[in-house]
Amino acid sequence: MKIYHGSLIIIKKPVFGYGNPHNDYGLGFYCTESNELAKEWSVDYELDGYANCYDLNLDGLKVLNLNEKPYTALHWLTLLVQNRTFKDKSYLVRDAKEFLIKKFSIDCSKYDVIIGYRADDSYFSFARDFLQGTISYRQLINALKIGGLGEQVVLISNKAFNAIRFIDAERAFSNEWYPQKIKRENDARNEYFTSEKTKRQKGDLYINQIIDEDMEADDERL
């Protein structure tokens, strides 16, 4: 698998155990299969970056793909609430977090690589709306597919770090890629508000019903 990591610097040898433990899936090396997305992620306002390119040999690695069965969006969301900071503004959000952790937790220590949605500010807001009961499960699923915000490939074990080989690094200029980064996220938000957040349908499933019915991961509605 060819993967890219967006960074302000060139990283020839990623270091296992280094980074922010409060990212989407915890401590790890966050990459994408898209060179374009890596360039967008690498830059900041008036700061150029690099799309570091690697070859990842998956032979012998255990991969957790959250976008494949038997996993659901609630498994993805559970990892998010376990690793990222959520402000519990209501009893419903607190109950939802406790329920998800009890029912949909995954032991990631068994895996070397995680593949799943990237929870940038837009995706994070979709998840928060669902936990607050503002949108349904169907709307959450649809929201995760809009805007082309992309999947991420995350190396989480020492074995995975040993399976990666640096190829090269391509410079990403802020004046070109930062506006594209902002536009992509704004387009996702705008599409969400115009096409999803206001479109409630009869029979939609909300977090309070999922909790009240004590739903399991194999429920066909999920």
One digit per residue, the tens of pLDDT, for the chain of length 222 reads 999 999 999 999 999 988 888 888 989 999 999 999 999 999 999 999 999 999 999 999 999 999 898 999 999 999 998 988 767 678 899 999 999 999 999 999 999 999 998 766 666 788 888 999 989 999 888 888 776 667 899 999 999 999 999 999 999 999 999 999 999 888 888 887 776 666 778 889 999 999 999 999 999 999
Residue that is written with structure tokens 């949108």 in the block: 135
39 occurs within a structural domain = yes
Is 221 inside a domain boundary? no
Q: Does 222 map to a domain?
A: no
Sign of CA dihedral 54, 83, 118, 215: positive
15 within domain boundaries: yes
- Where do runs of H (alpha helix) occur along the chain? 35-42, 73-83, 91-104, 121-131, 137-143, 158-161, 174-195, 207-212
For the chain, helix, strand, coil in percent to 5 are 40, 20, 40
Q: Is residue 36 in a domain?
A: yes
Contact 110, 46 (CB under 8 A): no
Tokens found for residue 105: 């937790």
Token pair in block for residue 195: 């096409």
- Decide if 96 is inside a domain: yes
**Within a domain: residue 218?**
no
Residue 125, domain extent: 2-212
Counting the structural domains of the chain, the total is 1
In a domain, 93, yes or no: yes
